[in-house]
């Protein structure tokens, strides 16, 4: 089991914030408020705006990979899995994903990461760093059933009370999800935007990874990701990475850490038991 010391001092820095000030005034159906940041007409996880200001100007290296997706669609899972693919072995990153999270991490954190970097963002295509589009940087886009995404996001906000200051009921919260009054706005508009970008930029390498496909056949997804980033893996390497990338194994990495709350059930169809 990993400890915060084993994850290193940089990993601990990635948990810092610039203040969870609510700037959106969002309230659920029962009148309970949720801390969210309103920035450039969009809603974000509550944090300061200075890092959001810097995203467009982030300098991109030739071998960088961008990992994007709506919140709670599997970015943590894919980030760790892709990192193991790049190393060619089933070994977790010594850092937490937030160290490479462009909207929240201080630039000196991801600037000091060794190449190849997997830079995470929840932005849509138009909001990505300018150099990503100029250099046609490879993008991995995660997707998930919106019903499971909603349940996961609700529990995420409940479990991170110190961030969102929210403890409402799901039935009061769910209309906010449908109206796009949650982190990253409307789930549906988000993926419509990405679909448009994929159609308008056919020369930009973008791989769509479905959460449900990872759960159903993780090894096939590992091979697909490896092909996309031009990494050749033996069957033994795929088996080793798949064993470590199983959701139950991933949960053990975060057990006892402040990031443990970010990893919940990892189930498909959890929405059927919520309400």
**Better-predicted residue by pLDDT, 223 or 262:** 223
> 13: pLDDT confidence band, cut at 50, 70 and 90?
very low
Please write the tens of the pLDDT for every residue from 134-148.
999 999 999 999 999
Please say whether the beta carbons of 253 and 243 come within 8 A: no
Please write the tens of the pLDDT for every residue from 18-64.
444 556 789 999 999 999 988 888 898 876 667 888 899 999 999 99
Domains and CATH numbers, the chain: 4-273 (3.40.50.300)
Question: Cα dist. 152→21, 44, 77, 178, 221 in Å?
Answer: 23, 16, 14, 14, 22
Mean pLDDT, rounded, for 102-115: 90
Sheet harboring 65-69: ordered strands across? 118-121, 65-69, 138-143, 206-210
Please write the tens of the pLDDT for every residue from 69-96.
999 999 999 999 999 999 999 998 887 7
Residue 122 annotated among the catalytic residues of the structure: yes
Annotate the chain with DSSP letters as a single string.
---HHHH-HHHHHTT--S-----S-EE-TTS-EE--EEETTEEESSS-SHHHHHGGG----TT-EEEEESTTSSHHHHHHHHHHHHHTSS---SS-GGGGBTTTS-HHHHHTSPSSPEEEE---GGGS-HHHHHHT-EEEEEE--HHHHHHHHHHHHHHTHHHH-----HHHHHHHHHHT-STTS-HHHHHHHHHHHHHH-TTS-EEEEEHHHHHH-HHHHHHHHHHHTT----HHHHHHHHHHHSHHHHHHHHTTSGGGGG-----SSGGGG--
Q: What mean pLDDT is reported for the chain?
A: 85
Mean pLDDT, rounded, for 92-102: 84
Q: Give percent above pLDDT 90 in the chain.
A: 64
Mean pLDDT, rounded, for 251-258: 57
Q: At what angle do helices 75-87 and 218-228 cross, to 10 degrees?
A: 60
CA angle at 137 for the pair 225 and 89, rounded to the nearest 5°: 35
> 105: pLDDT confidence band, cut at 50, 70 and 90?
confident
Mean pLDDT, rounded, for 244-264: 63
Please write the tens of the pLDDT for every residue from 147-173.
999 999 999 999 888 889 999 999 999
Please write the tens of the pLDDT for every residue from 185-195.
999 999 999 99
- Distance, in Å, from the CA atom of 107 to the CA atom of 260, rounded to the nearest integer, reads 24
Tokens coding 28:
């659920």
> 274: pLDDT confidence band, cut at 50, 70 and 90?
low
Mean pLDDT, rounded, for 230-254: 88
Catalytic residue among 15, 47, 76, 122: 122
């Amino acid at each position: 089991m990993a400890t915060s010391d084993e994850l290193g001092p940089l990993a601990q820095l990635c948990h810092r914030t610039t203040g969870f000030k609510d700037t959106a005034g969002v309230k659920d159906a029962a009148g309970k408020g949720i801390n969210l940041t309103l920035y450039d007409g969009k809603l974000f996880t509550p944090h300061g705006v200075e890092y959001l200001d810097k995203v467009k100007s982030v300098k991109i290296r030739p071998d960088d990979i961008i990992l994007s997706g709506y919140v709670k669609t599997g970015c943590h899972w894919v980030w760790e899995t892709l990192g193991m693919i790049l190393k060619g072995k089933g070994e977790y990153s010594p850092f937490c994903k937030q160290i490479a999270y462009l909207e929240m991490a201080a630039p000196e954190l991801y600037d000091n990461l060794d190449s190849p970097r997997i830079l995470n963002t929840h932005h849509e295509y138009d909001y990505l760093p300018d150099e990503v589009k100029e250099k046609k940087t490879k993008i991995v886009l995660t997707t998930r059933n919106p019903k499971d995404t909603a349940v996961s996001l609700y529990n995420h906000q409940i479990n991170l009370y110190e961030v969102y200051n929210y403890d409402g009921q799901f039935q009061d919260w769910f209309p906010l999800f449908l109206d796009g009054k949650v982190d990253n706005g409307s789930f549906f508009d988000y993926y419509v935007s990405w679909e448009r970008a994929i159609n308008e930029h056919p020369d930009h390498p973008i791989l769509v990874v479905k959460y449900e496909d990872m759960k159903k056949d993780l090894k096939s997804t590992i091979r697909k990701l490896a092909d996309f980033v031009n990494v050749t893996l033996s069957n033994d390497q795929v088996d080793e990475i798949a064993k470590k990338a199983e959701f139950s194994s991933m949960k053990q990495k975060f057990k006892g850490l402040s990031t443990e709350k970010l990893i919940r059930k990892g189930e498909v169809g959890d929405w059927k038991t919520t309400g």
